Amino acid sequence: MREFHLSLPLKKEDVLALRAGDLVYLTGPMLTGRDAAHKRLIQLLDAGKPLPVDVRGQTIYYVGPAPASPGHACGSAGPTTSYRMDAYTPRLLEAGLNCMIGKGRRNDAVRQAMRRFGAVYLGAVGGAAALIARSIEKTEVLAYEDLGTEAIHRFTVRDFPAVVIMDATGGNLYESGPAQYCEEAEGCG
């Protein structure tokens, strides 16, 4: 496993160098959003209208952060299941998004769009929401405040931990990981 400490927004060469299974620590600004915000973004694209945030070269974390307790930038901030954004993701990748963070598998249309547009999908650890929140230094709502925790936020993070699940070349940890385990265990029966 390779380890990378990367600054956000990610450079295209950083995205293209990552491979499924790599460990990354991200520092800088990232967007957040879930399915309700994604739906609105796609409606704007369909209408030929500008987006309220520039997604070009950006990373989006699929999260609905809990309210902050005193002295913290935000509360628990665990990843949302990513397939809920699959219907919207190819269009956002075409618009320039180059990194997504969530949990769970992605559909074939997303995988193909990632390869076509040179994007990467990172996994954050579900169940570690309080730990993840420690890497979030600042939050601000950028769009769709009426959606509450599902609004689009900008998080400023330091050493946000994630694993490359799917890379821009088609590598997929959900496929290679079990295969490697079976090989090392001398078969999976």
Dihedrals φ, ψ of 51, to 5°? -80, 150
pLDDT grade for 56, boundaries at 50, 70 and 90: very high
Domains and CATH numbers, the chain: 3-184 (3.20.130.10)
89-136 tens-digit pLDDT: 999 999 999 999 999 999 999 999 999 999 999 999 877 777 788 899
- The predicted pLDDT at position 1 comes to 80
170, 111 Cβ separation under 8 angstroms: yes
Hey, what's the torsion of the CAs at 29, 27, 8, 150, to 10 degrees? -40
Per-residue pLDDT at 130 = 77
pLDDT digits (tens, 9 = 90+) for 22-31: 999 999 999 9
Mean pLDDT of the chain: 92
Torsion of CA 85, 91, 95, 101, to 10 degrees: 20
Confidence of residue 179 (pLDDT cuts 50, 70, 90): low
Query: Is residue 155 scored above 70 in pLDDT?
Result: yes
